[in-house]
Amino acid sequence: MCGKCGKQHTNKSLCAARNSKCFKCQKPGHFARQCFTRVGRVKIHKNELKTVSISTQTENCNNKKSIKKKKRDSKRLQDYFDRKRTLQELPFNKTGNTVFISTINSDCFLRDQIETLKTQLEDENFIHTSTLMELTREFENTRKLRETIKIRDAKIIELENTVQRYEKGHDKITDYITEIKRKKNWKLHCSDVSEMYNVVRKSELDLKAVCKNYEHELEQLKKTNTRTNSGNYHQNRRNYQYRERRY
């Protein structure tokens, strides 16, 4: 077995490790599996390790992330930078938290004024909401009243039309009554008319009875005529036959 490449061969000039370089000790002439030198660990700074690991993680995450998640992350970053920009525009941006809190605690007058303004704004908001609710109720009531007024107006128009029709009919009736009253003895006239109607009705019934009697008599006459005609026909036939025999 060759001590440089780890393979079995007799010709050392054909060894593959002759022109190669070891990965452990960085020396030529042998492979890493046949290296017996002790190499100390290479010291790497912690920040370099962190940057490498974070960069590799971010690359893997970016490869795995979908388009929707990328949009979400970009939106979050944009919102964060917008908030930071607005905070940087404030006058007390460079002051520390402790200094800012101390100034707020020291300036009690402004704090009380802010609280009073908040309460006033809340009260005004409540008043405005209550007035708006009342206005909406009044609007609904007025709308309902308008609808009822429209219905009543329509009913009034219908009643006026009916009254006009009844008045026209009443006028016609009064005219007819006045015409009847103008005639003399209108009561007697009415009684005479009724009597005449009864007489005419009675005469009509009598005529119907007479017509029925005449019809009955005509039917009987027709029957008798048919019988006499048939008897005369037979008698004439006999007389004719007797004459032929005689001559």
Return mean pLDDT, the chain. 71
The token duo for 57 is 């993680």
Chain segment 25-48, per-residue pLDDT in tens: 888 888 888 887 765 554 445 454
How far apart are the C-alpha atoms of 149 and 1, rounded to whole Å? 119
How far apart are the C-alpha atoms of 107 and 99, rounded to whole Å? 12
What pLDDT score does 239 carry? 56
Q: What b-and-e string marks burial along 134-152, b requiring 16 or more CB atoms within 10 Å of the CB?
A: eeeeeeeeeeeeeeeeeee
Chain segment 197-226, per-residue pLDDT in tens: 666 667 667 666 766 766 666 676 666 655
What pLDDT score does 94 carry? 67
Residue 72 has pLDDT above 70, yes or no: yes
User: For residue 34, which of 58, 57, 11, 7 has the smallest C-alpha distance?
Assistant: 7
Would you place residue 247 in the very low, low, confident or very high pLDDT band (cuts 50, 70, 90)? Answer: very low
Residue 65 has pLDDT above 80, yes or no: no
Count CA within 13 A, CB hemisphere, residue 224.
6
The stretch 164-175 carries a mean pLDDT of: 69
Percent of the chain with pLDDT over 70: 48
What pLDDT score does 209 carry? 72
The stretch 38-65 carries a mean pLDDT of: 53
The stretch 123-127 carries a mean pLDDT of: 89
What residue segments make up the domains of the chain, in order of their start? Answer: 1-39, 49-89, 101-180
Would you place residue 80 in the very low, low, confident or very high pLDDT band (cuts 50, 70, 90)? Answer: very high
User: For residue 236, which of 192, 58, 244, 95 has the smallest C-alpha distance?
Assistant: 244
What pLDDT score does 16 carry? 77
How far apart are the C-alpha atoms of 191 and 29, rounded to whole Å? 162
Residue 50 has pLDDT above 60, yes or no: no
What pLDDT score does 37 carry? 76
Would you place residue 194 in the very low, low, confident or very high pLDDT band (cuts 50, 70, 90)? Answer: low
Residue 132 has pLDDT above 80, yes or no: yes
Which has the higher per-residue pLDDT, 129 or 89? 129
The stretch 42-56 carries a mean pLDDT of: 49
